[in-house]
Structure 1
Amino acid sequence: MSSRLPLQNERIHAPYKIAALVEVLSEQGIAPEDSLKGSGVDVERIYDASALTSVRQYGIVCRNAILLGCSPATPFIVGSRLHLSAYGMYGYALMSCLSLRDYFRLGVKYHPLATPTLTIEWTEYPDKGVWTFPDAFISAPSRELREFLLEQQFTQHVTHLQDVAGRTCPPVKACFAYPAPAHADIYAEYLGCPCYFDEPQCELHYDSGILEQKPQLAHRLTATLLQETCDRLIGQAKTSVGVSGEVYQVLMRKPGEFPGMEVVAEALKMTSRTLRRRLEDEGTSFVAIVDDVRCSLATEYLKTTKMSTDDIAMLLGFSDPANFRRALKRWTGMGPGELRRQPG
């Protein structure tokens, strides 16, 4: 099972990875302006939750870090600071899942939501589970950048499993398909396991005995709700294509808060007039996207939770439950009760 990378120029991700890397470089005396040079990302926007950035832009900041002579420990430090709580829906869906097996499985399924720099695969064997990185040597233009991204990715996996499990849960071993670098001793320090180089492929191994363990924040209702939301984000091409996809991402950043067109346009660094024209070119409108998001969330909440209709109306920004019922009828042709009784 593998996850497909989004197009490299898509601005659909919050800048949390860029912010973490810029922070680490700043601690080494490298100015944020130098770290961000050529990326198109402004210093004042890296902590802006409404800002949208691409995998390509993050790759540029990583390349800058290497060219600026950053410490060899930089990707490991960044990976150790990128906790799942920074990943929004994706992170909370993983933290609330019901077993570590579910965590590994869903980590692959929802990986496109996580500013992915590498493709990941998860395979379970009788005695072990293995993360594999099949495109490790085609996804970055230089050896230094490929190794930088792998070092960070491996450390993120260790950090994220610790976040989910609520305790240290190190891999059995880590394998790398390249010669041991001069800083090879840093690998075991951050990954907490034996590390092997010149291996056939890049892999991270775990003992299958941990897979039935229950995450510290496991919660059936929360897991269902968040996984449904992630399924919709993954399953709908419109959430990752064009300007309409960027609008969807802004609206889904905080479900229940629906900023106006002016606010969304500002987040996308364009005027509301330009946004309106771009959406028209894609055959949609801002109102249609807001309605679609509200309809999707309403359907999801009605089918997967026991919240009252009034509570759902309030969550979706309706001041009057009657208006919500009318809107639901217009969107789906059904009332709340009928939708709840619908299968799946």
Structure 2
Amino acid sequence: MPRLRVRLGEVSVGFVKPLAQALLDLGHDPAPLLHRYGLHASRLAEAGARLSIPRYMHLGHAAIALCKQPALGLHMGRLSHLAQAGLAGVTAAQAPTLGEAARTLLRFEPLYAANYRGHSSFLEDPQGAWLRFYSISPYNAYNRFVVDSLMAGWLAQLGALVGVPLQAERLEMEFEAPDYASHYQPLCSSSVQFGASGNQLRLSRATLDLPNPQHCPSTWQHLLQLCEAEMLQRTRVRSLGERIIHLLGPLLNGGREPDLEEVALHLQLPTWTLRRKLAEEGTCFRSLLNDTRRDLAETYIRDTELAFGEIAYLLGFASAEAFQRAFKRWTGITPGEFRRSQRQVG
């Protein structure tokens, strides 16, 4: 079985537009920065064009350095529009209510963004709903703006849909309060909680039930059909091995590695059936786990500034030493040697 490559993920180039507008608002021409990252007008106009997660994070970090505004992500979010999420966003804009728009936007997230760490979720109950973004810890100057722009963006996009400024009932951020913590408060009617167990915001039932004045039932149903067809095309996998690789990313984390039994449970298969089917594909669970870890390790070392201890945590190793031993076994060189060789190539 050919080795399956793993990527950290990618986002629609539509996410670049609010970043560029935020820089303009702050008195900076975004064009030179965008050109440095290959984001010319023709690239930004390509249908379905994507930007890798590491490159997007580096772009955001460079933009923050340019304008010297660590809260740039929050400003980006306030400037974002549903159409920048492509077909999923346009479909959400035709939903009958604000709640259905939120559900649609998060349900079809794979059409505009994908991250091996997980996917956003819409968790509804009789009193309201949580809009939840997955963990991308450990947090640093490269990735915190992603969470900032997303949480602020959800509120701005949904508020624009119904024509009223929108605040969350509760707002929880997984990272500790940054220096610009006061900038979050306008997003929420109660105190923002930092250092929480996850990234999520709460909307009340009354907010979810707000009607969308632009709703057209026939257009809404047509767009839903298009989203479903596109999702089927994007998420169709060719083998059990590929399905397992999609599962491993969110399960890897925090000094522990997933085992065969855990993956079998997620796939709703007996462990013996899983072993047999993988053998029929010419592979085994341990090979898939090692290949996934190796690919992700190489990507993290090459494309991010994460310390090796942080990478070890993300890949489920008990310690940085265990990760470094495994990396040398896979590649014949240490993580430090690999990073230096990649910088020389760059």
Q: Which TM-score band applies after superposition, normalised by the shorter structure?
A: 0.5 to 0.7
Q: What residue ranges of structure 2 are gaps of 5+ in the alignment?
A: 1-5, 239-346
What is the CA–CA distance in structure 1 between the aligned matches of 2:236 and 2:31, rounded to whole Å? 31
2:277 counterpart residue number? none
Aligned partners of 2:131 and 2:201 also within 8 Å: yes
Aligned partners of 1:128 and 1:206 also within 8 Å: yes
1:102 counterpart residue number? 100
What is the CA–CA distance in structure 2 between the aligned matches of 1:185 and 1:204, rounded to whole Å? 17
2:217 counterpart residue number? 220
Aligned partners of 1:133 and 1:203 also within 8 Å: yes
1:64 counterpart residue number? 62
2:132 counterpart residue number? 132
> What are the superposed Cα offsets for residues 294-328 of structure 1, whole Å, 9 maximum, x if unpaired?
xxxxxxxxxxxxxxxxxxxxxxxxxxxxxxxxxxx
2:89 counterpart residue number? 91
TM-score, reference length from structure 1:
0.58
> What are the superposed Cα offsets for residues 221-253 of structure 1, whole Å, 9 maximum, x if unpaired?
010001111111111138999xxxxxxxxxxxx
Aligned partners of 1:25 and 1:31 also within 8 Å: yes
1:16 counterpart residue number? 14
What is the CA–CA distance in structure 1 between the aligned matches of 2:148 and 2:136, rounded to whole Å? 11
Which residue identity lines up with residue 202 of structure 2 in the other structure?
Answer: H
List aligned pairs for 1:195-274, cutoff 5 A: 195-237=192-234
Please state how far the C-alpha of 1:147 moved relative to its aligned partner: 1.6
Change in 2 beyond 3 A, CA 1:188/1:125: same
2:122 counterpart residue number? 122
> What are the superposed Cα offsets for residues 247-288 of structure 1, whole Å, 9 maximum, x if unpaired?
xxxxxxxxxxxxxxxxxxxxxxxxxxxxxxxxxxxxxxxxxx
1:36 counterpart residue number? 34
What is the CA–CA distance in structure 2 between the aligned matches of 1:191 and 1:123, rounded to whole Å? 18
2:168 counterpart residue number? 171
2:50 counterpart residue number? 53
Q: What residue ranges of structure 1 are gaps of 5+ in the alignment?
A: 1-5, 242-344
Larger deviation, residues 169-178 vs 117-126 = 117-126
1:264 counterpart residue number? none
Q: State, as a whole percentage, how many aligned pairs show the same letter.
A: 17
2:332 counterpart residue number? none
Aligned partners of 1:37 and 1:64 also within 8 Å: no
What is the CA–CA distance in structure 1 between the aligned matches of 2:157 and 2:236, rounded to whole Å? 25
Aligned partners of 2:78 and 2:156 also within 8 Å: yes
2:149 counterpart residue number? 152
Aligned partners of 1:22 and 1:35 also within 8 Å: no
Aligned partners of 1:76 and 1:190 also within 8 Å: no
What is the CA–CA distance in structure 2 between the aligned matches of 1:160 and 1:29, rounded to whole Å? 24
Please state how far the C-alpha of 1:110 moved relative to its aligned partner: 0.8
What is the CA–CA distance in structure 2 between the aligned matches of 1:234 and 1:88, rounded to whole Å? 13
Change in 2 beyond 3 A, CA 1:133/1:51: closer
